[in-house]
Structure 1
Amino acid sequence: MPMQLIRGLHNLKKQSSCVLTIGNFDGVHTGHQEIIKRLVAKAHELKMSSLVISFSVTPESYFGRPKARLSSFRDKHLFLKSMGVDKHLLIRFNNSFSQTSATSFVENILVEKLKVRHCFIGDDFRFGKDRLGNYGLLEKLSKPNNFIAEKVERVSFENQRVSSSAVRRCLSSGNFSMAEKLLGRPFAISGRVSHGDKKGRTIGFPTINVGISRRLSPVLGVFNVLVEINKEICHGVCNVGKRPTVGGEKTLLEVF
């Protein structure tokens, strides 16, 4: 059965009891994967659907503090699907949602609308207006609302707490090996090849352009790469950032 994508609470159809988790899940690193594995296993045990809540606009971006995104929405969605999640609820973080108190979020959304029966959250997760909600409050509200709250402790690797911020630091410093270990897979940027100005081909250097201007890139720089075109492997140079030779304001991934 394919994973169901629900864009907004208003598109939520008749909901049965579920096991859920909530977060940004940027990069879906090994810490996130531990939460998802436990979520899916518990849902199978209880014979309920597993549901992941994430945001189309992150709280940081809404409040003007955007961070470089490790994964596009599409990549995140496909990874959750590959892990066996049944439903992915995408909530738009806006002014109305930001004013929702932590108690109201639990009672009116998690309990009343989503019918949660078991909820997993990370040990440092915060929710509700002014980030006043935490695991302690969730556990307190779980008993009178007939669900179980379970805290998942942060995963560590070589004495480093696994987090999206830790992955960003590794990437920005060029430590791709450690980033791969924290992510559980090599870091990747995906996107559609777009038509550029075609200036490169006029001087003998045609390029492949992938637009990433809608998000801050966690990686900037020039890299030696291998490119597969029609099953043929070629050597190339990849620039991630502003166009170094012809100007431009958009952030692009260009392979020469």
Structure 2
Amino acid sequence: MGRLFRDVDGGVLFPQGSVVCIGAFDGLHQGHRALVRHAVSRGRQSGLPAVALSFEPLPREFFARDTPPPRLTLPRAKVEGLLGLGVEGIGLLRFNAALSAMPAEDFVQRLLVGRLQAREVWIGPDFRFGHRRGGDLALLRTMGAGLGFAAGEIEPVDHHDGRVSSTRIRECLRQGDFASAARLLGRPYAIGGRVVRGRQLGRTLGFPTANLRFPKTPALSGIYATRVHGVGAQPWPSVSSFGTRPTVDGVEPLLEAHLFDFDGDLYGRHIEVEFVAKLRDELKFPDLPSLTEQMHRDAAEARSLLSEHQRRATA
């Protein structure tokens, strides 16, 4: 298990030195993975631990609190993904007023050198950090020359007609283009979490659901054909609603997955919902019977789409 820390200041975490990479890492897409893998590889060559630095909330969320930008992943998924790539330390730095006002030079001195004893620092193309985005590769190299670390920038990762980016992935999800999103991510888009109790309205209507909270602004909303991982030996076919449930006056985004022909208790279990195809946008229905009728249509369409998806995958 890697070491997780949240603060810029504190004791030395890696006295033997470290190789550091820095990024938002929202979605942990192919570009992010290339950066992290490079840092991990450099660390192994040097016999040093690799450390990934990110922020929570993300800076864009902090500066746009009234209209936060959509998130691809929650912090837990980011941490699990980074650990899976081989890092030994993860900094989910508390992005607050103090950190936003910190000059880039202080960030380097206090965190990169003071806490992490960085020997190498790697960033992605055009990455900026520190107050008013005053830190860049040039600053890292200049300070590193005097403080004992090297700095570098990886090449951008391109796919088809442009750079792989979280912005491109969010647009793919908004359009329901999950195939393109999967190519940019390097895996199918999915949301994981622990199943929580809802209002149990779905059970009353004949559609019991496994509910996952998403306490951020999601990158997509609507009704989807999905597959649930973590329930059986194979992904379980399902139909899912993701949004604020306008018919029943919901507020916080909730992912509700109805697993076809499933009979069991999933409360408290960690599952992952993979998005396969979008069926429609969220709608507000005049009454519950109208909602139930549409749910039957959605379920039938999802079953058909998932069967076809499975048939193509095994052909």
Map of 1:64-83 to 2, 5 A cutoff?
64=64, 66-83=68-85
CA deviation map 1:143-166 (0-9, x unaligned):
111211111121100021011111
Cα 1:227–1:8 shift into 2, 3 Å? closer
- 1:89-104 alignment runs, 5 A limit: 89-104=91-106
Distance 1:71 1:38 in 2: 22
Change (3 A) 1:23 1:114: same
Which amino acid in structure 1 is aligned with residue 224 of structure 2? F
RMSD: 2.0
Q: Is the 8 A contact 1:54 1:91 kept in 2?
A: yes
Which residue is 2:117 aligned to?
115
Which letter does structure 1 place at the counterpart of 2:129?
A: F
Q: Distance in 2 between matches of 1:179 and 1:100?
A: 35
Matched residue of 1:112: which SS?
helix
1:112 deviates by: 2.6
Which amino acid is the alignment partner of residue 221 of structure 2?
L
- Secondary structure of the residue aligned to 2:119 is strand
1:63 corresponds to = 63
Partner of 2:171: 169
Q: Percent identity?
A: 37
Q: How many aligned residue pairs are there? A: 254
* CA deviation map 1:84-126 (0-9, x unaligned): 1111122101111111111222223212332111110111100
Matched with 2:204 is 202
Q: Deviations over 1:58-100 (max 9, x none)?
A: 1111112522111111111111111111111221011111111
Q: 1:1-256 alignment to 2 at 5 Å?
A: 2-10=1-9, 12-16=11-15, 17-64=17-64, 66-212=68-214, 214-226=215-227, 236-256=238-258
Q: Which SS does the other structure have where 1:37 is aligned?
A: helix
- Whichever structure has more helix as a proportion of its residues is 2
The 3-state SS of whatever aligns with 1:104 is helix
| Contact persistence 2:9–2:111 (CA under 8 A) | no
Q: Distance in 2 between matches of 1:14 and 1:110?
A: 10
State whether residues 123 and 135 of structure 1, in contact with CA within 8 Å, keep that contact through their aligned partners in structure 2: no
Deviation at 1:232, TM superposition (A): 8.5
**Distance 1:11-1:111 versus aligned 2 partners, 3 A rule:** closer
Q: 1:173 to 1:206 in 2, by over 3 A?
A: same
CA contact (8 A) 2:8 2:107 kept: no
Q: Unaligned stretches of 5+ in structure 1? A: none
The question of whether the paired residues in 1 share the 8 Å contact of 2:12 and 2:116 is answered with no
Q: Distance in 2 between matches of 1:189 and 1:30?
A: 17
Return the letter of the residue paired with 1:41. Answer: S
Q: Which moves more between the two structures, 45-54 or 223-232?
A: 223-232
State which structure, 1 or 2, has the greater radius of gyration over its C-alpha atoms: 2
The Cα of 1:224 is off from its aligned counterpart by 2.5
Deviations 1:152-181 (CA, angstroms, capped at 9, x unpaired): 121100021011111111111111111101
1:255 CA displacement: 2.3
TM-score of the pair, normalised by structure 2: 0.75
Q: Aligned partners of 1:145, 1:89: CA distance in 2, in Å?
A: 21
The CA deviation at 1:231 is 5.8
SS at match of 1:36: helix
Q: Is the 8 A contact 2:18 2:50 kept in 1?
A: yes
Q: Distance in 1 between matches of 2:27 and 2:134?
A: 25
Corresponding residue number in structure 1 for 2:290: none
Q: Is the 8 A contact 1:6 1:12 kept in 2?
A: no
